[in-house]
């Protein structure tokens, strides 16, 4: 996994002190709290998050005190990565953390020669958010979205044109 990276600086905008990094088992309580806040119907618990991190993966945006502000989780299968939608604390929304997480995730997928990222949204209002990043419904009217990010075409020297 990559080392932690700082939020890109925008000219004239005060940038909060946050880092994007791989989730660690010690993040399980903060991740559970985040998912309970961001998804009120979530049954996330610290033990459940720890179990998830033992079999899946997560990237987090954390503040200087290591409190998780936003996260994206995923699992791997032969067809690619199955991504859960980004979770962001209510007070931290509109900071660009979701796009930052997804951009980093896609870069990791390309580097790892992962063919496809697939995710399912639970709210049709999120379709526009993910479509702006290149995700498209797998079939008409579906809330399951995918994006081809890597795979055989990369090895053959094609660059997505």
* Composition of the chain by helix, strand, coil, percent to 5: 30, 25, 40
- What single DSSP character describes residue 26? G
pLDDT of residue 132: 93
pLDDT of residue 41: 78
**Cβ atoms < 10 Å from Cβ of 77:** 9
Phi, psi (5° rounding) for residue 77?
-145, 175
Cα separation, 74 vs 81, in Å, equals 6
pLDDT of residue 137: 94
Cα separation, 62 vs 30, in Å, equals 10
CA distances from 145 to 16, 80, 140 (A): 31, 13, 10
pLDDT of residue 155: 47
Spatial CA neighbour of 72 closest among 61, 64, 80: 61
Contact 60, 70 (CB under 8 A): yes
Contact 59, 87 (CB under 8 A): no
Spatial CA neighbour of 148 closest among 60, 158, 50: 158
The whole model's pTM is what? 0.81
Phi, psi (5° rounding) for residue 65?
-90, 10
pLDDT of residue 141: 86
pLDDT of residue 3: 54
Q: Across the 161 residues of the chain, what is the mean pLDDT of every consecutive 10-residue run?
A: 54 72 95 91 89 94 94 94 92 93 95 93 88 93 91 50 38
pLDDT of residue 150: 77
Cα separation, 101 vs 4, in Å, equals 12
Could you tell me the domains of the chain?
Answer: 5-155 (3.40.630.30)
pLDDT of residue 93: 92
């Amino acid at each position: 996994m990559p080392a932690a990276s700082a939020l890109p600086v925008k000219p004239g905008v005060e940038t909060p002190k946050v880092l994007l990094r791989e989730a660690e088992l010690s993040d399980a309580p903060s991740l559970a709290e985040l998912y309970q806040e961001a998804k009120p119907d979530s049954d996330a618990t610290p033990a459940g998050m720890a179990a998830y991190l033992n079999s899946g993966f997560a990237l987090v945006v954390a503040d200087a005190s290591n409190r998780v502000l936003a996260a994206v989780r995923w699992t791997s299968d032969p067809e690619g990565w199955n991504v859960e939608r980004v979770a962001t604390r209510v007070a931290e929304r509109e900071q660009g953390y979701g796009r930052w997480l997804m951009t980093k995730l896609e870069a990791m997928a390309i580097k790892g020669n992962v063919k496809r990222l697939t995710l399912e949204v639970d709210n049709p209002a999120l379709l526009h958010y993910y479509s702006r990043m290149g995700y498209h419904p797998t079939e008409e009217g579906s809330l399951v979205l995918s994006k081809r990010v890597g795979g055989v075409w990369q090895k053959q020297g094609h660059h997505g044109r």
